[in-house]
Amino acid sequence: MTETLDANRAPAPTLSAQYQPGEVERRRYEEWVAAGRFRASADSDKPPFTIVIPPPNVTGSLHMGHAFEHTLMDALTRRRRMQGYEALWLPGMDHAGIATQNLVERQLAGEGLSRHDLGREKFVERVWQWKAESGGKILGQMRRLGDSVDWDRERFTMDEGLSRAVQTIFKKLYDDGLIYRAERIINWCPRCLTALSDIEVEHTDDDGELVSIRYSDEVVVATTRAETMLGDTAVAVHPDDERYKHLIGTEVELPLTGRRIPIVGDEHVDPSFGTGMVKVTPAHDPNDFEIGQRHDLPSLTIMDERGVITAPGPFQGLDRFEARPAIVAALREQGRIVAEKRPYVHAVGHCSRCRTTVEPRLSLQWFVNTGPLARAAGDAVRDGRVKIEPADMAKRYFAWVDNMHDWCISRQLWWGHRIPVWYGPDGEVRCVGPDEEPPTGEGWHQDVDVLDTWFSSALWPFSTLGWPDQTADLAKFYPTSVLVTGYDILFFWVARMMMFGLYAMDGRQPFDVIALHGMVRDQYGKKMSKSFGNVVDPLDWIERYGADATRFTLARGANPGQDVPVSDEWCQGSRNFCNKLWNATRFALMNGAHVTGELPEPARLSTVDRWILSRLQHVTAEVDEQFEAYEFAKVCDVLYHFAWDDVCDWYVELAKPVLAAGGEPAEVTRRVLGHVLDQLLRLLHPVVPFVTDELWTALAGSDTVDGDPAGASVMTAAWPSTVPALRDDAAEREITELQRVVTEIRRFRSDQGLRPAQRVAARLDGLGVAGIAAHEPLIRSLVRLDEAGSDFAASATLAVSGAVTVALDTRGSIDVAAERARLTKDRAAAEKEISQARGKLDNPAFLDKAPAPVVDKIRDRLAAAEADLERIASALVALG
């Protein structure tokens, strides 16, 4: 390798022989933060680009879903910075009411205490103490991943500014009649002893039992929760059901209780389901509650807050799951059990925090009237103010906001934003804003509940920028540019931000684009779960393979709205890709590649140089197009193949003979190689920031690039733009033909067992017709072919493409007879594989019964065997 450099150019820094991600990543991140690379200024005259981070729980640690989502947000932010935007990626955390309170209560239990032993004020102090000492470790883990967030703007949903925002919007909603207090059915966790939002309830298909109970000779109902019959206040039938019309308005005795309850007609009942009769328990089922409201039925609460039966009688004091079989046994003893089906698989809601089965419960709670807010949220997408990516997700969004129920916002916790409502001794109710003094005096007390965590999170896009004050940040960076989040919370967090953002900000949407991604799964598409044993810790990947490899693996699987399979092997491949970049740049530096001065005039460029520059223009345009469409996987795929195939495998190899020869052509190639790597590293930087910054600063050396001081950072380099004048279709066609010839010769050599370094005499015919005659010395160099001498005798002939043929003298290099025998045996094996695969695929019985993955695997085997057969046939022909 030559190390000759321009006398006026200082030597470039030397890269180590091997890339060590751990050393580079830690050092680079500290340099970025110290230099203020991530800071955004509201005083800037650059156009704004804003992303607010979906705030992770203060109790959380970096899991693969975080790593995936943060990689996408970081890539968007870094690219916009390079494009000249004032890019703000705002970090912060959520106080995570239920999760945090549970965690601190477990700590207290270990000390033999409960929160009630401390009292509310001391307990809240204890939570703040925990937050200061142990909370938020995920923030340090975000640094390991490379998050380029503006740490100076870090927010917390319980900090003073956001608490002020919560009080302000609660007061505004209350005064506008959009917040009210009422007794309604809510999701209740008997373990956490609080109401839950829909997002805090996870439904799974559980084994249960469906029991049909005879209330009378004519009344039979079916239920999966027999214990709730103690709270029945009616039986309902469809008013048009001819079987039961005569029963409407009559009464039936409720077994085990002696109470008589009415039979009502209600259109909610499905006559085709079961017997067409349903038991109505208004205090313990949301649909029954609505029936009860329509028919003015009483609501009997027969369980306490812990799920213990309170109804007088023999079952009082039993837990709900103890009462269920006891009640069924009592009914069976009376001969009232008509049928029992078990297991009966049905959807059951569980508390997302403690996995306890959720109980529908009639409770006095605070609600948001979502009707007008939800309509506004739907209109903002329909009229184009907010765009959902991918577009087909908009239908799911509309299905939710167009049918939204009122939102229960009160939680029976001590950790969180306490509801700013005071009650007086004579029934007075007063809502207090942040700038108002609460009422004092005997008998006045504040509501004991706190607000749903999602209430404060719904304000995140504008409260983090200073609202309700009209700050410079709010004026500059609102509305935010894009929300990157999972489709699984489209209905909950996203819809809530839309409702509150439009309401608080006078119709201005909280974000211009909602970019929805899928869930990270294992390589088989299975949900990651500790119980499955397939959970991958991104910090483990970062330790073993580096943050860049972790990020590239995740981004390469990111298709809008689709789930993302990942595996250890794929991360190893991404590490190899980073190593490939390292080795290519190291080679370039050792051979004098540089970025000094303008590119040489076209007349000085070789066809190979013009080809790689033209390819760069296509890649730059495609990367831009895919970034704008949030097609991260396609961005990565385009850059991977350009870097690995075009640059490393072809251009570097084609450049080696030129660089070794020296002179003017070598100096031109050094400049082109430097330019291509410079642009490639810029294009890759948003996804793999660490290795690209290390390599780019080494490549820049002591030069000034884009007016930036030497070796500053690729973060401050301009984002590449296409140069139409560098597109060269003729050069691309010419090099494509050269690649085809070289590839076919290499494949033939491999098939014949020729060692890579073994030279073989050959005659190349038809290069002129193919337009690549000038490249014959280069072709021979790449595939180790000598000129045909006087004793040349072709023992194998290879038809490459079009008019190009290659005659090779393999005497002494190949045992032709043995090779023919080997290929003949391989041909027979391929033919057998084809026959077996076709036999299965032509069998209708197999196609009807076999799972789709099995059929796909057989099709893949057939395609591979057919390709092998074609290759073997060509090799046999070449042997003559």
Is 438 inside any structural domain?
no
In terms of domains, do 722 and 792 share one? no
Name the domain boundary from 676, 707, 727: 727
In terms of domains, do 685 and 815 share one? no
CB 324 within 8 A of CB 224: no
In terms of domains, do 771 and 706 share one? no
Q: Of how many residues is the chain composed?
A: 880
CA 30 to chain centroid: 27
What single DSSP character describes residue 644? I
List the binding residues for ATP. Answer: 530
For the chain, what is the radius of gyration of the CA atoms? Answer: 35
For the chain, the domain total comes to 3
- Whole-angstrom distance, CA of residue 54 vs CA of residue 57: 10
Domain coverage including residue 628: 566-727
Residues in contact with 140: Cβ distance below 8 Å, sequence separation at least 6, in sequence order: none
* CA distances for 457 relative to 330, 461, 476, 865, angstroms: 48, 9, 21, 56
Is 717 inside any structural domain?
yes
In terms of domains, do 711 and 772 share one? no
Give pLDDT, residue 2: 33
Name the domain boundary from 326, 360, 394: 360
Q: Which residues of the chain have pLDDT under 70?
A: 1-13, 199, 529-532, 702-711, 812-816, 818-819, 878-880
CB 429 within 8 A of CB 446: no
Q: What token pair was written down for 845?
A: 């019985």
> Up-side HSE of residue 735: CA atoms within 13 Å toward CB?
20
What single DSSP character describes residue 511? E
Q: What is the pLDDT of residues 668-692, one digit of tens each?
A: 999 999 999 999 999 999 999 999 9
The percent helix, strand, coil of the chain (3-state, each to 5) is 45, 20, 35
In terms of domains, do 204 and 316 share one? yes
List the binding residues. Answer: 530
Name the domain boundary from 360, 392, 423: 360
In terms of domains, do 714 and 606 share one? yes
Is 561 inside any structural domain?
no
In terms of domains, do 716 and 771 share one? no
- Quickly tell me which residue has 């499955």 as its tokens: 532
Is 636 inside any structural domain?
yes
Q: What is the CATH number of the domain that holds 333?
A: 3.90.740.10
- Whole-angstrom distance, CA of residue 639 vs CA of residue 623: 8
In terms of domains, do 874 and 792 share one? yes
Give pLDDT, residue 198: 74
In terms of domains, do 667 and 772 share one? no
Q: What is the CATH number of the domain that holds 599?
A: 1.10.730.10
DSSP symbols for 226-288 = GGGGGG--EEEE-TT-TTTGGGTT-EEEPTTT--EEEEEE-TTS-TTSTTSEEEE-TTS-HHH
CB 285 within 8 A of CB 228: yes
Is 371 inside any structural domain?
no
Give pLDDT, residue 302: 94
Angle between helices 568-590 and 663-684 (to 10 degrees): 150
User: Residue 543, exposed/middle/buried by CB under 10 A (0-12, 13-18, 19+)?
Assistant: middle
Is 228 inside any structural domain?
yes
Is 287 inside any structural domain?
yes
155 by DSSP, 3-state: which? Answer: strand
Q: What b/e string do you get for 450-488 counting C-beta neighbours within 10 Å, with b at 16 or more?
A: bbbbbbbbbbbbbbbbbbbeebebbebbbbbbbbbbbbe
Is 370 inside any structural domain?
no
In terms of domains, do 349 and 233 share one? yes
In terms of domains, do 582 and 685 share one? yes
In terms of domains, do 600 and 719 share one? yes
